[in-house]
């Protein structure tokens, strides 16, 4: 409505001007000029007020739209299991939640401001032009198809290239991301030169395409301007003939020129939509992809009553493969871990250790077999109550912005200061926490960049300890600790976790040697299970690992 | 380039993520570069190998704009002539008629000027396309080279998303700016000068009035901008906080899940999001 008013006032102005010229100037009526001039100012003022208000409202609406969309997408991503999450990847999810939504928000605003105005202006301009002088409107009628053809031709060339461009940007992103995630491997195997060439190819490809697009787009504006200006020349020419015959007045001609300009500018704005919409639609598609992804892991509709065997963990003939993988990450795994026992899992990189422990908090669902906690299948339990039983220490220790206490309390929101301190002490973190200036109130920065890797791991362990869960899972959580801290930590843990079921994933033999049960994984299969002594005699894979790490005397 | 500057350049701003509101470019407080002079110098360094082409672009822009500015004056000649002849005709001066030959002559000149202006405008954009894109090509190439030399510690301290967004988003912004804003800047300056000169030749008095009004409108713009800056600052702060929260929660997704903190995380997100709306 406001936009409508604004457009109307803009359309009215040339007519008023025509009146001034035709009636005022020609007759030399100063009074009339001033009166109509005042009216023009008023109309212009109304137009401006409408425009400002329209802008304000459009911006509120667009922001509101963005806000709702953002809330939806974030809630959806939070509900994702690791399966969907890793399908997308962290970086693109971040872009989708932030950048893509901002893009859509901006385009919504533009559409509301411009796209509503352009058609009104165009149609209104045509009506006004015809009312001023019908025969002269034929010039505009003749020019509009020309403009349409110019726009159509440019767009038909440019839009495929725009789409291609998005693909090439994605390609460049892909190469770069692979370079980032695989940086260690790339450096270790000296593949830097090869990767550099790959990047260069993708980069050159993208650049070439971008130049092509921009060269095509370069023609659009000058050509449009040219058509517009030539039209005006045409109008002046035909107009002056008509004026000479006395069919038209000079003021009308000037107004007519303005209407012609308005019509053509609105067409140009309209053509901009063809550029903006494909870009926005790329964002919309990316957002939709997220919103349409339904988490595979959901709570069972009716969850059975909780099992009675507290802390009991059982794998029954479990086979599992990551989505899209050809080979199963785990096949036919069966074992039982009881409260008070420590079960260690050892094996080389990619042997399936992390996959195994990820199944316990139901980050993924098994393909075959079942995982039982407290004697109950994890799929029948609500995720929240399942995870409440588990203290999980991930392979990559992640901390959040906040104080040390905040981070430890993440495990148990209502933990007392004493409990927090106790957990930190067990995790061997007390020493360095107290070494910090603010102690437990020291602030951990985003991503935990102000603490070392080992300190991060110890805080992550304290975070799990403070929950006092039935089941502890340490996924290679001691790797950044030196041997002495590692040993001290395991000693303290033993007392703390005496009544709980403990799972330790490790690569170091010293970490697992004292476990009640050691599971040896090799390529997703169980190569052996038993105590250190049993395995050293019976299991070849285990023996190999042990010999590669320990010296003769340590073995004895 | 000193090592220190490298670090500064990369540390510039850490809440990451591209910004943008729906409010258009008026007075938006852009992320301020810590070391503006250094950054600018570096950008010039990238443009240096292409300075001859840029000179051509500059020349084209000037030519295109000059032709564009001259034409209204010439068009004015046509309309004035038309008007004068008509007035004479109205007053029934004997022999008065519209001098169509003269008008046609002017219109031909005008058409020529417009065609020339469009042609130069096209050439300018055309050359700028390859200048801008090749410049950012070099930048991307250099970043990649630099990344391959940086110590692993650098990668551990940053999220991949952060690095990726620099190589793609930020560079894309530079490309757009070079392509559009730079030529716009040249055109605007030339137009401003040219229009002033034209106005002076048409009527010095009207120009004087215009020049008196100009600072007034500048004042209004400034007042509006400084007021909106406050809003923008609040909005940008909320946006930065939001982006930070998103980044943190997504990177720690596994931990959020493991400890059942989805609810709290969503709640915090909604709070910041609502504030962003309020400020927006």
Q: Tokens for A307, please give them.
A: 């099992």
A446 and B247: CB-CB below 8 Å? yes
Q: Work out the number of other CB atoms within 10 angstroms of the CB of residue A279.
A: 16
Q: What pLDDT, on the 0 to 100 scale, is given for residue A519?
A: 92
Check B175 against A221: CB less than 8 A apart: no
Query: Given an 8 Å threshold on Cβ–Cβ distance, is A63 in contact with B266?
Result: no
Contact A296, A81 (CB under 8 A): yes
If residue A347 lies in a helix (H) or strand (E), which one and from where to where?
Answer: strand A342-347
Residue of A nearest to B91 (CA): A26
For residues A279 and A162, the answer to whether their CB atoms sit within 8 Å is: yes
Q: What's the pLDDT tens digit per position in A470-494?
A: 899 998 888 778 888 888 888 888 8
**Which structure tokens are listed for B124?**
């300018």
- Asked if the model's pLDDT at residue B192 lies above 50, the reply is yes
How is residue A125 written in tokens?
């301009």
Contact (Cβ atoms closer than 8 angstroms) between residue A26 and residue A33: no
Q: What is the pTM for the complete model shown? A: 0.69
* B157 pLDDT higher than 80: no
Higher-confidence residue of A23 and A331: namely A331
Q: What is the pLDDT of residues A277-327, one digit of tens each?
A: 777 777 888 888 888 888 888 777 665 666 566 778 889 999 998 876 778
Query: Which residues, other chains included, contact A269 with Cβ-Cβ below 8 Å and sequence gap of 6+?
Result: A114, A115, A117, A118
Q: Please spell the DSSP secondary structure of A260-321, one letter per residue.
A: HHHHHHHHHHHHHHHHHHHHHHHHHHHHHHHHHPPPS----SSPPPPPSSTT-EEEEEEEE-
Structure tokens at A520: 């040896």
**Region B127-152 average pLDDT:** 86
Report the percentage of chain B scoring pLDDT > 90.
0
- Looking at residue B19, the DSSP 8-state letter turns out to be -
Q: Please, are residues A103 and B172 in contact by the beta-carbon 8 Å criterion?
A: no
What tokens does A342 get? 């420590």
Q: How far is CA B214 from the centre of its chain?
A: 22
Question: Rounded to 5 degrees, what angle do the CA atoms A361, A428, A397 make?
Answer: 40
Which of helix, strand or coil describes residue A28? coil
Residue A98 pLDDT level (bands cut at 50, 70, 90)? confident
Best mutation target among A176, A227, A359, A472 (most B Cβ atoms within 10 Å) is A176
Q: Of B117, B215, B128, which is closest to residue A227 (Cα–Cα)?
A: B117
CB A61 within 8 A of CB A17: no
Mutate to test the interface with B, among A94, A179, A475 (most CBs of B within 10 A): A94
The residues near A320 (Cβ < 8 Å, ≥ 6 apart) are A328, A329, A330, A355, A359, A364, A366, A367
How far apart (Å, rounded) are the C-alpha atoms in residues A374 and A199?
51
Region A243-247: what's the mean pLDDT? 77
Cα dist from B270 to A67, A74, A290, B237, B276, whole Å: 9, 9, 18, 15, 10
- B244:A446 CB<8 A: yes
Burial class (CB in 10 A: 0-12, 13-18, 19+), A326: exposed
Pick among A205, A214, A475 to test the B interface (most B CBs inside 10 A) = A214
At a CB cut-off of 8 Å and minimum separation 6, what does A290 contact? A73, A76, A77, A88, A93, A96
Helix (H, G, I), strand (E, B) or coil at A473: strand
Q: How many residues does chain A have?
A: 556
Work out the angle at residue A357's Cα, subtended by the Cα atoms of residues A355 and A363, and round it to the nearest 5 degrees. Answer: 75
Tally Cβ neighbours within 10 Å of residue B4. Answer: 10
What is the per-residue pLDDT for A506? 85
- The beta-carbon neighbor of B277 closest among A64, A79, A225 is A64
CB-CB under 8 Å, B71 with A361: no
**pLDDT number for residue B18:** 38
Q: What percent of chain A has pLDDT over 90?
A: 3
Give 3-state DSSP helix, strand, coil % of chain A, rounded to 5.
65, 10, 20
Residue A161: φ, ψ to 5°: -65, -35
pLDDT averaged over every residue in chain A: 82
- Chain A positions touching B176 (Cβ under 8 A) are none
* Nearest residue of A to residue B123, measured between CA atoms: A218
DSSP H or E segment with residue A393 = strand A390-393
Q: DSSP alpha helices (H): ranges in B152-203?
A: 152-156, 160-165, 171-176, 183-202
**Alpha helices, H only, chain B:** 3-11, 36-47, 51-90, 100-149, 152-156, 160-165, 171-176, 183-202, 204-251, 253-258, 262-279
Contact B257, A81 (CB under 8 A): yes
A460 contact residues in B (CB cutoff 8 A)? 255
pLDDT recorded at residue A414 = 86
Contact assignment for B122 to A222 by CB distance below 8 Å? yes
Lowest-confidence region among A104-118, A176-190, A332-346, B18-32: B18-32
pLDDT digits (tens, 9 = 90+) for B113-137: 888 888 888 888 888 888 888 888 8
Q: What are phi and psi of B24, to 5 degrees?
A: 80, 180
Cα B9 to Cα A222: distance, rounded to the nearest angstrom? 38
CA separation for the pair A96, A70 (Å, rounded): 9
CA A417 to chain centre: 36
Bridge partners (DSSP) of residue B123 are: none
Rounded to the nearest 5 degrees, what angle is found at the Cα of B198, between the Cα atoms of B195 and B200? 110
Distance of CA A97 to the CA centre of its chain: 4
Contact A327, A395 (CB under 8 A): no
- Mean model confidence pLDDT for chain B: 75
Give the pLDDT mean for A505-520.
Answer: 85
- Token couple for A343: 């079960």
pLDDT band (50, 70, 90) for residue B24: very low
**What gap in Å lies between CA A502 and CA A489, rounded to an integer?**
14
CA A260 – CA A237 distance, rounded (Å)? 14
CA distance A227 to A145: 11
Backbone angles phi and psi of A443, in degrees to 5: -90, 130
- A232 and B75 within 8 Å at the Cβ level: the answer is yes
Query: How far is A203 from A209, CA to CA, in rounded Å?
Result: 10
pLDDT at B12 over 80: no
**Least confident interval from A88-92, A129-133, B34-38:** B34-38
Q: For B231-258, what is the mean pLDDT?
A: 82
Distance from CA of B73 to the nearest CA of A (A): 13
Share of chain A above pLDDT 70, in %: 93
Tell me if A98 and B129 make a contact (CB, 8 A cut-off): no
Which token pair is B158? 């940053």
Average pLDDT over residues B238-261: 84
Q: For the residues A115-134, what does the mean pLDDT come to?
A: 79
pLDDT(B17) > 50: no
Q: Which residues pair with A319 in a beta bridge?
A: A368
The confidence score (pLDDT) of residue A552 equals 56
Instruction: Answer yes or no: are the C-beta atoms of B32 and B19 closer than 8 Å.
Output: no
- What residues of chain B, 181 to 210, have a C-beta less than 8 Å from chain A? none
Q: Do B161 and A74 touch (CB under 8 A)?
A: no
Q: Compute the distance between CA of residue A514 and CA of residue A528 in angstroms, rounded to an integer.
A: 16
Segment A205-216, tens digit of pLDDT = 988 988 888 888
Judge whether A507 and A476 are in contact, CB under 8 Å: yes
Question: B61-109: per-residue pLDDT in tens?
Answer: 888 888 877 887 787 777 777 777 777 776 776 666 667 788 888 888 8
Mean pLDDT value of segment A33-59 = 80
CA-based nearest residue to B79, from A29, A28, A233: A233
Helix (H, G, I), strand (E, B) or coil at A515: coil
Structure tokens at A142: 């003749």
């Amino acid at each position: 409505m406001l936009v409508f008013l604004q457009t109307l006032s803009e359309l009215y102005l040339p007519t008023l001007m025509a009146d001034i010229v035709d009636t005022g100037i020609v007759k030399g009526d100063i009074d009339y000029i001033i009166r109509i001039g005042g009216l023009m100012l008023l109309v212009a003022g109304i137009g401006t007020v409408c425009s400002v208000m329209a802008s304000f409202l459009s911006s509120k609406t667009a922001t509101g739209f963005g806000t709702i969309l953002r809330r939806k997408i974030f809630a959806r991503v939070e509900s994702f299991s690791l399966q969907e999450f890793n399908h997308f990847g962290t970086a693109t999810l971040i872009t989708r939640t932030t950048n893509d939504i901002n893009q859509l928000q901006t385009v919504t605003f533009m559409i509301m401001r411009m796209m509503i105005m352009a058609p009104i202006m165009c149609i209104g301009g045509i009506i006004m032009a015809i009312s001023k002088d019908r025969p002269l409107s034929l010039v505009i009628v003749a020019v509009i198809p020309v403009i349409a053809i110019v726009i159509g031709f440019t767009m038909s060339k440019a839009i495929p290239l725009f789409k291609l461009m998005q693909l090439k940007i994605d390609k460049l992103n892909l190469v770069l991301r692979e370079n980032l995630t695989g940086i260690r491997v790339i450096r270790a195997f000296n593949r830097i030169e090869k990767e550099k060439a790959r990047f260069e190819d993708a980069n050159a490809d993208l650049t070439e395409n971008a130049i092509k697009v921009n060269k095509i787009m370069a023609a659009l504006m000058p050509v449009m301007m040219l058509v517009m200006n030539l039209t005006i020349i045409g109008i002046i020419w035909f107009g002056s003939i008509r004026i000479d015959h006395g069919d038209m007045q000079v003021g009308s001609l000037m107004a007519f020129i303005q209407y012609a300009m308005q019509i053509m500018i609105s067409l140009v704005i309209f053509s901009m939509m063809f550029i903006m919409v494909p870009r926005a639609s790329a964002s919309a598609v990316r957002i939709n992809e997220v919103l349409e992804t339904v988490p595979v892991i959901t709570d069972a509709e009716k969850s059975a009553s909780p099992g009675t065997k507290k802390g009991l963990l059982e794998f029954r003939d479990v086979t599992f493969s990551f989505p899209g993988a050809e080979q199963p990450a785990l096949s036919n795994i069966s074992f039982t871990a009881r409260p008070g026992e420590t079960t260690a899992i050892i094996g080389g990189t990619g042997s399936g250790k992390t996959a195994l422990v990820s199944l316990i908090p139901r980050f993924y669902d098994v393909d075959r077999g079942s995982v039982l906690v407290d004697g109950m299948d994890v799929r029948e339990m609500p995720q929240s109550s399942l995870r409440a039983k588990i203290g999980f220490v991930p392979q990559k220790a992640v901390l959040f912005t906040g104080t040390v206490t905040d981070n430890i309390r993440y495990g148990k929101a209502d933990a007392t200061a004493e409990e927090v301190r106790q957990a930190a002490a067990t995790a061997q973190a007390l020493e360095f926490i107290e070494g910090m200036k603010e102690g437990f109130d020291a602030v951990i920065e985003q991503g935990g960049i102000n603490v070392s890797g080992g300190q991060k791991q110890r805080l992550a362990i304290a975070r799990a300890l403070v929950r006092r869960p039935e089941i502890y899972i340490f996924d290679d959580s001691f790797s950044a600790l030196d041997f002495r801290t590692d040993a001290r930590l395991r000693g303290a843990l033993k007392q703390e976790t005496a009544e709980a079921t403990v799972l330790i994933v490790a690569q170091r033999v010293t970490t697992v040697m004292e476990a009640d049960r050691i599971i040896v994984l090799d390529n997703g299969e169980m190569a052996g299970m038993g105590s250190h002594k049993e395995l050293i005699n019976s299991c070849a894979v285990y023996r190999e690992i042990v010999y590669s790490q320990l010296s003769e005397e340590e073995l004895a | 380039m000193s090592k220190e500057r490298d670090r500064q350049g990369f540390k510039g701003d850490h809440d990451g993520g591209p910004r943008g509101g729906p409010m258009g470019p008026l007075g938006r407080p852009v992320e301020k570069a810590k070391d503006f002079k250094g950054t600018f110098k570096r950008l010039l360094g990238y443009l240096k190998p292409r300075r001859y082409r840029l000179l051509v672009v500059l020349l084209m822009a000037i030519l295109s704009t000059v032709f564009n500015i001259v034409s209204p004056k010439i068009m004015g000649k046509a309309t004035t002539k038309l008007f004068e002849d008509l007035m004479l005709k109205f007053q029934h001066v004997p022999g008065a008629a519209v001098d169509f030959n003269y008008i046609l002559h002017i219109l031909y000149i005008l058409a020529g000027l417009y065609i020339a202006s469009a042609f130069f405008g096209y050439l300018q954009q055309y050359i700028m396309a390859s200048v801008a894109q090749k410049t950012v090509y070099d930048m991307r190439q250099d970043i990649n080279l630099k990344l391959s030399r940086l110590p692993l510690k650098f990668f551990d301290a940053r999220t991949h998303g952060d690095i990726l967004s620099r190589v793609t988003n930020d560079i894309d912004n530079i490309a757009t700016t070079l392509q559009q804003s730079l030529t716009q800047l040249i055109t605007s300056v030339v137009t401003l000068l040219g229009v002033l000169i034209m106005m002076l030749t048409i009527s010095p008095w009207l120009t004087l009035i215009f020049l008196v009004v100009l600072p007034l409108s500048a004042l209004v713009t400034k007042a509006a901008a400084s007021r909106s800056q406050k809003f923008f600052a609040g909005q940008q702060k909320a946006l930065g906080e939001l982006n930070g929260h998103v980044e943190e929660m997504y990177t720690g997704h596994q931990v959020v899940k493991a400890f059942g903190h989805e609810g709290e995380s969503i709640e915090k997100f909604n709070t910041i999001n609502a504030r962003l709306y309020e400020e927006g």
